[in-house]
Structure 1
Amino acid sequence: MKQRIVFIGDSITWWGMSESDSIGTGYVRLLHDYLKVTYPNRDMDIINKGISGNRITDLAERWDSDVISHNPDIVSISIGINDVWRQVDSPEIEQVLPNRFEEVLEYLLINTKKKTNASIILMEPTVISEDIQGKGNIMLKPYIEIIHELAKKHHAVNVPTHQAFLSFLKYKKEFPLTIDGVHMNTSGNMLMAKTWIQATKELLG
């Protein structure tokens, strides 16, 4: 059974990719290895299309070449951190505010359904700072709500990665999940992968 899964997103998805490593060393690597050993009867083709710094508008520009052209069975999307953080660190550029984020993401979901038979997985953006009440995490809230709404509307699987991080950080603040508040250490990647696996059990069968 051939099954092609495309992971697309920003640096959190891209993490560790190089000319000699097309999967990387982040959560996609953990999921790649998990899926390969869990489903040895399936011919799984796992593709990582993460690019550092991407926002939803960047995904839209490369969607046909990086997603549709592969005719995937499953598309896993992790986006939103840069859409929020650019409002803080680069206020002079054109911003992706919640209404624009929703508009572009919904277009991508509709386009994917029209052009492929892929199931879609929407991962919540994780955290911007390990301070639950930090500015970045407060700013993420409307983007996460949009992901919930669109997942329900378009029958996508929602992976509650943001909630998983908040729940963990309530109890284990002395055990970091990131190297800088955004990019994952090995524990953060493990939590992302674990949450993805739990959310996709029914889809993967």
Structure 2
Amino acid sequence: MSFTEQDRLLFAGDSITDSSRDRTDPASLGKGYVRQIADRLCADRLRGGPEVVNQGLNGNRIYDLEARWTADVLALRPTVLTVKIGINDTWRTFDRGLPSPVGKFRAAYTRILASARQHLPADLYVITPFLLPVEPEQHAWQDDLAPRIEVALDVATEFGARLVRADLFMPRAAAEHGNATLAPDGVHPSPLGHRILAEAWLAAAGVPVEDGIPRS
């Protein structure tokens, strides 16, 4: 897929997408995979590269993303929309006792993608949630996260979104590099983890990654 100056690529999600962006600056892309994708696609912005917008927000569960969906996503009229959400629905269940029943999670995920299909002329991408346990208690999270991954797969298929299977390629990469190397706390990617995410998104979009995004 090729992108032009007419395209607006919007990435919506939680802290993995947010990645320390400056929320007072609409042009801020953070330090993670969104920045790396933009660096690859927008190096020649003056010669026709797309606009990239980061609408990740630290701490978001699916319900938080849905609450700001109209203002932070639909109102910006992206032509390419990427959603990565779900790990906080699991995490908050364990550390704060905030339940996120899978049925309600599915209903909310379905509503946001349905509204995107209804209101936007956008290509959709879904990045599945993932977990790379580094603490013993995090292994118990996996049974809670697994059905959320299935929800992401199901809704992506239902609404014709391209899938970026972070739940598969991140554990494969961790088998080589180690969980903590890719995500020091099991959830938030390191620079290498973000690079792997960015390369996977670019591959899903059909964009060559050689000589592209930063390697550190």
TM-score (norm 2): 0.85
Q: How far apart are the structure 2 equivalents of 1:46 and 1:88? A: 34
Per-residue CA distance 1:81-137 (angstroms, 9 max, x = gap):
10111110011x3x2221111101111111111111111110011215247982223
Q: 3-state DSSP class of the match of 2:51?
A: strand
Q: How far apart are the structure 1 equivalents of 2:55 and 2:179? A: 32
Residue 38 of structure 1 deviates from its aligned partner by: 7.4
- Per mean C-alpha deviation after superposition, the further-off stretch among 21-30 and 6-15 is 21-30
Q: How far apart are the structure 1 equivalents of 2:180 and 2:140? A: 21
TM-score (norm 1): 0.89
Q: How far apart are the structure 1 equivalents of 2:159 and 2:48? A: 27
**1:72, 1:118 within 8 Å by CA — same for their partners in 2?**
yes
User: Which residue of 1 is the match for residue 213 of structure 2?
Assistant: none
Aligned in 2, Cα 1:130/1:194: closer, same or farther, shift over 3 Å? farther
Give the percent of matched residue pairs that are identical in Structure 1 and Structure 2. Answer: 28
Unaligned runs of 5+ in 2: 208-216
User: Which residue of 2 is the match for residue 163 of structure 1?
Assistant: 168
Report the AA paired with residue 95 of structure 2. D
**1:130, 1:169 within 8 Å by CA — same for their partners in 2?**
no
Q: How far apart are the structure 1 equivalents of 2:49 and 2:19? A: 24
Q: How far apart are the structure 2 equivalents of 1:122 and 1:201? A: 15
Equivalences, count: 200
Report the AA paired with residue 63 of structure 1. W
Unaligned runs of 5+ in 1: none
Q: 3-state DSSP class of the match of 1:23?
A: coil
Q: How far apart are the structure 1 equivalents of 2:65 and 2:180? A: 32
1:108 to 105, 109, 112: 112
- Per mean C-alpha deviation after superposition, the further-off stretch among 36-45 and 55-64 is 36-45
TM superposition outliers: structure 1 runs of 4+ over 6 Å: none
User: Which residue of 1 is the match for residue 55 of structure 2?
Assistant: 49
Over the aligned positions, Cα root-mean-square deviation in angstroms equals 2.2
User: Which residue of 2 is the match for residue 8 of structure 1?
Assistant: 12
Report the AA paired with residue 84 of structure 1. T
- Is 1:154–2:162 an aligned residue pair? no
Q: How far apart are the structure 2 equivalents of 1:128 and 1:174? A: 5
Q: 3-state DSSP class of the match of 1:46?
A: strand
